[in-house]
Structure 1
């Protein structure tokens, strides 16, 4: 099983990239959010991956962060949600927004994604609520969905993006800082800690 790839971006399509790794070009399908976050042709990139196998197809799905991959795994666990729909949701919403939608039962937010109607949106919210609650994903990808996100996490991600960080980098840094800081952390302290995480 391929968990992560590091290489050079050879091609970028509307829903996929080709990542060159030691002479092998991997076709990786990804959300538009991931494609815009990882860089351009010729740039070095690390992509977290998930293999999807069906009777007729085998595809490598790619993600800019481990948290996005964790949400993909959760989404495809819902009946009626395949890889294409899960990527559409991840194109329309950041992991933090999906978390808030599930936690608050906001099916309308989920239906912003292409191919997700009211019934499927409701099913996603209902089925995932018991699995995750209000969560932030483990930025290492090792433990999956692990803890309650602080109320300041979305603002902290926004602050890092305003400082020039890519969305995936900002989300991963804030998730790591949030996990370390615990409940009750102030926005200022969370941003400072996230900056230290991002610098590592």
Structure 2
């Protein structure tokens, strides 16, 4: 099986890139994020690859890093999530945002991807909870806070602070990450108002 390709970018399609490896061009299907991260035509590129073999085809799926590949494998393990839907999700959410969405059971965040309806979004966050890849995901403090929020066991002051920051326009991932750092320094019993103030300071850095 092919695990990684190193070669020159030959050309791009809507959801595919051709990688020239010593004169042999491999067709690799990628998320929008990966395609945007790749260098220009003629330049050298490295793509992590997952090979899927079926009776009627062999397809290569490429990723910018191992975290994205790990999430692809997890997503496609959920019933109803094929390779195309998994790439659609990875096109709109980074690995850290996916980790946050699953930890927080944020089905609306998952539902932003094309082809993901409400029922499938619920299935994804439900089945993948607790299965967040360790590679390049999010730090333990942030994940711990997000898991507590998702389980409804986070202290009310922290939950209120996260809610306040998201109401100000920050994503749940940004808010929980900032507050995880604040709580690590100040403690969980810090008043809500102070958590919000310090959280905003973290987000402005």
Taking structure 1 as the reference length, the TM-score comes to: 0.68
Secondary structure of the structure 2 residue equivalent to 1:26: strand
Q: Is the 8 A contact 1:136 1:149 kept in 2?
A: no
Matched, 1:41 2:44: no
How far is the alpha carbon of 1:148 from its aligned partner?
4.8
User: RMSD across aligned C-alpha pairs, in angstroms?
Assistant: 2.0
Deviations 1:154-191 (A, max 9, x none): xxxxxxxxxxxxxxxxxxxxxxxxxxxxxx69xxxxxx
Matched, 1:121 2:121: yes
Q: Which residue of 1 aligns with 2:65?
A: 65
Query: What aligned pairs does 1:1-200 form with structure 2 within 5 A after superposition?
Result: 1-132=1-132, 136-137=134-135, 148-151=139-142
Secondary structure of the structure 2 residue equivalent to 1:131: coil
Q: Is the 8 A contact 2:103 2:130 kept in 1?
A: no
Distance in 1, Cα, partners of 2:42 & 2:140: 35
How far is the alpha carbon of 1:100 from its aligned partner?
0.3
Q: Say how many residue pairs are matched.
A: 145
Structure 1 unaligned residues grouped into runs of 5+: 139-144, 153-183, 186-200
Secondary structure of the structure 2 residue equivalent to 1:36: helix
Deviations 1:70-122 (A, max 9, x none): 10000001111000000000001000000000000001000100000000000
Which of structures 1 and 2 has the bigger CA Rg? 2
Taking structure 2 as the reference length, the TM-score comes to: 0.66
Structure 2 unaligned residues grouped into runs of 5+: 144-183, 186-205
Secondary structure of the structure 1 residue equivalent to 2:142: coil
